[in-house]
Amino acid sequence: MNHETTRPDGTRIHYTATGSADGPALTLIHGWGCDRGDFDAIVKHLPPEIRVLAVDLAEHGDSRSSRDTWTIEEFARDVAAVLAAESVESTVVAGHSLGGAVAVETARLLPDTVTRVLALDALHYLGLFPAQSEEDVQALLQPFREDFTGAMRGMVEAGSPEGTDPSLVDSYVKKMGSVRQPAGLHALEGLARWDMDAALREIAPPVVLYAVRSIIAKEAIDRYGDRIRIELVDLGSHHFPVESPAETAKLLADEL
């Protein structure tokens, strides 16, 4: 079930493979500061005939790398390496948060392989996903450079609707606050510099966004509603795949 593939620059990508080798393929990509283990409960609720690959991006989970490039495009190459190692010719790619961006970029990198992109509360945060100005990039990173844990808590709280269990918030802050550095900051910078609008223009597969209803801004719906199929959900916080695994598994399975 647990596998590893290597890439240049000392990069070792770990991933989990479950389900039928002959079934329709679903590739799962975690968010920033998270890991493939966040999908474990979801995988248990997926039909056994689905072939599931859950990937640890470089310097997340068990994956390690000494590379200097931390762009969304490079993370997509991590995913592409797994698909090549598993000889996957066709797959739906689903990503949470940062993983949603990586899923879109994987579709651009592998146009003949990725058939659909599923974003789990990703792509709609206008202060992060569309390419930011240099001034905005530095403004985003500065709080993390000065007080990483405090900035992380602010980010998690912003993605937590009213009524979210405080212990959940604390657990997310602890987990994401332990992301390995400097890769964690570099990955956040890579996300802020990523040109999502260009990527969306250049990919053919449909993109479906499952967004937390109480978090998504109307401006995001107005901006991307004609390019992305936006489905609003009430399954928890920004981390709803962890909080509602059975319901999330159904959303994913229905798209296959």
pLDDT by residue, tens only, the chain of 256 residues: 799 999 988 999 999 999 988 889 999 999 999 999 999 999 999 999 999 999 999 999 999 999 999 999 999 999 999 999 999 999 999 999 999 999 999 999 999 999 999 999 999 999 889 989 999 999 999 999 999 889 999 999 999 999 999 999 999 999 998 888 888 899 999 999 999 999 999 999 999 999 999 999 999 999 999 999 999 999 999 999 999 999 999 999 999 9
70 three-state secondary structure: coil
Q: What are the beta bridge partners of residue 208? A: 118, 229
The residue ranges of DSSP E strands in the chain, in sequence order, are 2-7, 11-18, 25-29, 51-55, 91-96, 114-120, 207-212, 229-233
Residues 240, 56: Cα–Cα separation, whole Å = 19
Neighbours of 233 (CB within 10 A): 18
Cβ atoms of 109 and 86 within 8 Å: the answer is no
Q: Report the amino acid identity of residue 177.
A: G
Residues 13, 7: Cα–Cα separation, whole Å = 8
Residues 104, 195: Cα–Cα separation, whole Å = 11
| pLDDT value at residue 139 | 94
| pLDDT value at residue 178 | 85
The CA-atom distances, in angstroms, between 203 and each of 109, 228, 254 are: 9, 12, 22
| pLDDT value at residue 182 | 85
Cβ atoms of 229 and 200 within 8 Å: the answer is no
Cβ atoms of 68 and 9 within 8 Å: the answer is yes
| pLDDT value at residue 181 | 85
Q: Report the amino acid identity of residue 211.
A: A
Q: Which of 223, 231, 237 is nearest to 168 (CA)?
A: 237
